Amino acid sequence: MKATLVTAEMAEQPDVIARIAVRADAVRDAVREVLPERLTGVTWVARGSSDNAAVLGRYLAEISSGRPSGLAAPSLITRYDAALDYSGQLVVGLSQSGETPEIVDVCRRLKAAGARVIAITNGLQSSLTAVADAVLLTDAGDERAVPATKTVTAQMLLVAVLASAIGSLRIDARDLTLLREVVAAQLAHPQEADSLAAEWREHPGLLVVARGFSYAAALESALKVREVASVHAEGLSVPDLLHGPIAASNPDLPVLLLGGSARTDEDIEEASERLRDFDVPQHRFDAVAGLPEALQPIAATVFGQQLARAWALARDLDPDAPLGLSKVTLTH
Amino acid sequence: MKATLVTAEMAEQPDVIARIAVRADAVRDAVREVLPERLTGVTWVARGSSDNAAVLGRYLAEISSGRPSGLAAPSLITRYDAALDYSGQLVVGLSQSGETPEIVDVCRRLKAAGARVIAITNGLQSSLTAVADAVLLTDAGDERAVPATKTVTAQMLLVAVLASAIGSLRIDARDLTLLREVVAAQLAHPQEADSLAAEWREHPGLLVVARGFSYAAALESALKVREVASVHAEGLSVPDLLHGPIAASNPDLPVLLLGGSARTDEDIEEASERLRDFDVPQHRFDAVAGLPEALQPIAATVFGQQLARAWALARDLDPDAPLGLSKVTLTH
C-alpha cells in the first residue's frame, strides 16, 4: 500500500500539537493584548476545513467569554458592501495559506469597521498576517497534500487556546500533553478506522452526527470523507438529524456518531436508538477519558481523517489529490 | 392527481402575505419598542425550516443594523449551561407552533441573560409568546401538512420587515404588493417546476446553490425537496460549492441555481460555467424583476416548494406526510 503524503502529514500531528503546547501561554498573551476593552462578541471568518475549526471556535469563544459568537457572512461585505459597525468585536480569520482573497478582504473590512483582528494561519508572511492585529501561527510545516489535516487540528487547538484567553475556559499544560499522547496513540492504531472503511466501503454516503462542541468534528469528518473518498458525506447535529434527515435513514446510509462528553451522551444515545429502528449501520467514536471536552473534537477529527484515508484506499482512490480540488481557493 | 393539503396551503401564501403587508408598520413599531438602547447584535434561535428563515434574518439584520448577527447554538444553553451576557442583544426565536421546547428554553435563558426577545410564530398563545417581549404573528392559519410552506414564507417576510425596523433596509408597501402578485403568479403557473421535476425525477440527489440573501432559499428549497420528495438534496453557497463539492459533481447530481440580483449574478454565472465542465444538469431560477433583493428569497422558496411537491408526485409519494416526520419536534 502506497505511503501517501496525507498519511505522512497526519503523522506529524503530535509534533504540531507539542509545538503549540510550548507556546500556549504566549498565544494567550497575544490574544489578551489585542482584546477590545469591552468585548461585544467574537466573529469567525473562514471557508472549507478552516470553517469547521471556526465552528469549534464559535462554541468555545461563547462559552468562555459569555458573549455572542458567530460565523461571518462574507457576501455581506464582498457583494453587498454593507456599512458595518464592528466596534467591540474580536474577529478571527482562519486560512491555511493566509492567501484566500475572500478571507483577507473580509478581515480587512471588519478591521476598518472597528474590530480587532486575529489571524490563525500557517502562512507566516501572508496577506492575512499583514492585515491582522495579532497572528497565531499553526506552525505545522508545509502542507502539500490537498486534503488539509495537520493544519486543521492545529487551527482547532489554537482556537481552544484563544478561547481560554478570553474567559472562563481552562486548558492547562497537562491537558495539552494528554492531547498529544491521545493523538499519537490514535495514529499508531488505525485499525478502528480501517475496519470501518472496509465494512462501509460500498456505501455511497455517510452521515456524521454529534452534539455540542463535537459538531465541528462532525462537519470536518464529513468534509474529509467527502473530498478524500468521494463519498457523499454530511455532518449533522443530533437535533438536526432528528428534525428531518432521520426520516430518510436507511441501511445504505451508515452513520458515524461522535461522542463528546457526559453532557451530550444522552443525545448520542437517543440518535443511536432512533437509527436502530431504521436498521442503519452505525459506529460510535467514543469520547477520550480525561481529555477536556473542548479538545475532544480534535481527537474525533483525527479519527475522521483516518476513516477518510482508509475509505479512499479501499476504493482505490489517491487520498493526496482528490479530483478537481486545489490548495488555495480563490473565491473572493 | 390528488389535491394535497400542502398544495392547498401553498395556495394560501398570497393571502398570508397580504395580511402581513397590512400590519407591516405595526410590526415595525412593535420591534422598535423592544429594541435595546444600544444594540450590540441580533441572534436567531430556530430549527428546521424556521432555521432557514433565521438564516435570511441573519443577513438582513446585519446589513440593516450594521451590527453582527448570527444563529444561536442551543446546546451551549441546554447542555453546557453556559453563563452568558446577552445585554444589548436582540434575540429572535422562530417556531411555527411556538411549542418547540428547545427554542422556548433558549429564548427564556437568553432573556434572563439580558437580551430582548421577539417571537415569530404561528402560535398565538404559545409557550414562546409567553416568554417574548414582543410577538410577530405569522397569522398563516393552521398548517396541517407536515412540510411547512405558508408559515415559512410568512416567517421570511416578517424577518425582512423586522430587519427594516432596525436600520437602513427599506421595504415599502409597493414592494409587499409586488411580492404578493409575484407569488400568486408563481402559484398559478407551476409548469417550470413541474417540467423540471419530470426531467430530474430519476436522480437520487440535488444541489441547490445560491449566493448572499438567497442562500436561505437554497437551504429551504433543499430541505423541502429532501423531506417531501425523499431526494438527497443539499443547499450550498457558491463559494462552498467551488471550495469542495464541485469536485464530486456529475451528471447524476443536478443543480438548481437561484439567482438573487445583479450583485450575485457573476457568482451564479461562475458556478454555472464550472458545472458545465462536469456535464451537470442545471436549471436557473431567475431573480424577479423589480422585487427588492431582501424579498427575492421568498419567491425562490415558493419555487422550491413547487419543485418538491412536483418531484414527490412524480415519484408517487404523498407530499403531505413524508415518512417519519411529525409536526412539533420535541428536541430540547
**pLDDT tens string A94-120:** 999 999 999 999 999 999 999 999 999
Q: Which three cell numbers stand for residue A157?
A: 487547538
Please give the torsion angle defined by the CA atoms of residues B156, B161, B163 and B165, in that order, rounded to the nearest 10 degrees.
Answer: -160
Say which residue the cell 493544519 belongs to.
A151
Q: Nearest CA to A163 among A22, A50, A64, A39?
A: A64
The answer to whether the beta carbons of residues B146 and B321 sit under 8 Å apart is yes
Containing A13, the helix (H) or strand (E) segment is helix A13-22
Residues within 8 A of A (CB atoms), B 44-63 only: 47-48, 58-59, 62-63
**Residue type present at position B43:** T
Containing B136, the helix (H) or strand (E) segment is strand B134-137
pLDDT of residue B187 exceeding 60, the answer is yes
Q: Which three cell numbers stand for residue B22?
A: 397590512
Residues within 8 A of A (CB atoms), B 104-143 only: none
Neighbours of B85 (CB within 10 A): 16
Mean pLDDT in residue range A131-159: 96
B47 vs A73, A223, A243: nearest CB? A243
Distance CA B287, CA B297 (A): 9
- For residue B144, which phi and psi values (nearest 5 degrees)? -100, -30
Mean pLDDT in residue range B132-142: 97
DSSP conformational letter for A287 = P
Alpha-carbon distances, residue B140 vs A126, B137, B151, B157 (angstroms): 52, 8, 6, 12
Q: Which three cell numbers stand for residue A258?
A: 461522535
Instruction: Quote the percentage of chain A above a pLDDT of 90.
Output: 86
Distance CA B27, CA A254 (A): 46
Handedness of CA B123, B125, B130, B134 (dihedral sign): positive
For A36-40, B95-99, B297-301, B318-322, which range has the lowest pLDDT when averaged over its residues? Answer: B318-322
Digit-coded pLDDT (tens) for B79-111: 999 999 999 999 999 999 999 999 999 999 999
**Averaged pLDDT of chain A:** 94
Termini Cα distance of chain B: 39
The answer to whether the beta carbons of residues A101 and A130 sit under 8 Å apart is no
Q: Which three cell numbers stand for residue A86?
A: 464592528
Residues within 8 A of A (CB atoms), B 183-242 only: 205, 211-212, 215, 223, 226-227, 230, 232, 234, 237-240, 242
**Structure-model confidence comparison of residues B130 and B330, the more confident one:** B130
Termini Cα distance of chain A: 39
**Averaged pLDDT of chain B:** 94
- For residue A22, which phi and psi values (nearest 5 degrees)? -60, -35
Q: Nearest CA to B121 among B33, B50, B25, B31?
A: B50
Q: Which residues of chain A lie closer than 8 angstroms to B209, CB-CB?
A: none
Q: Directed axis angle between helix B13-34 and helix B173-188, to 10°?
A: 150
Q: Nearest CA to A301 among A260, A241, A266, A261?
A: A260
DSSP conformational letter for A79 = T
pLDDT band at B146 (very low <50, low <70, confident <90, very high): confident
Q: Which three cell numbers stand for residue B198?
A: 419530470
Q: Which three cell numbers stand for residue B160?
A: 425582512
Residue B185: CB partners within 8 Å, gap ≥ 6?
none
**Residue type present at position A197:** A
The answer to whether the beta carbons of residues A133 and A36 sit under 8 Å apart is no
Containing B17, the helix (H) or strand (E) segment is helix B13-34
Q: What is the pLDDT of residue B1?
A: 44
Q: Which three cell numbers stand for residue A13?
A: 500531528
DSSP conformational letter for B253 = S
**Minimum Cα–Cα distance from B274: chain A residue:** A324
pLDDT of residue B245 exceeding 90, the answer is no
Vertex A18, ends A14 and A24: CA angle to 5°?
140
B66 vs A43, A85, A212: nearest CB? A85
From the centroid of its chain, how far is CA B107?
A: 20
pLDDT band at B222 (very low <50, low <70, confident <90, very high): very high
- Mutate which: A63, A95, A323, vs B, most B CBs within 10 A: A63
**B30 touching chain A per CB within 8 A:** no
Q: What is the pLDDT of residue B2?
A: 53
Residues within 8 A of A (CB atoms), B 62-101 only: 62-63, 66-71, 73-76, 79-80, 82-86, 88-89
Digit-coded pLDDT (tens) for A147-196: 999 999 999 999 999 999 999 999 999 999 999 999 999 999 999 999 99
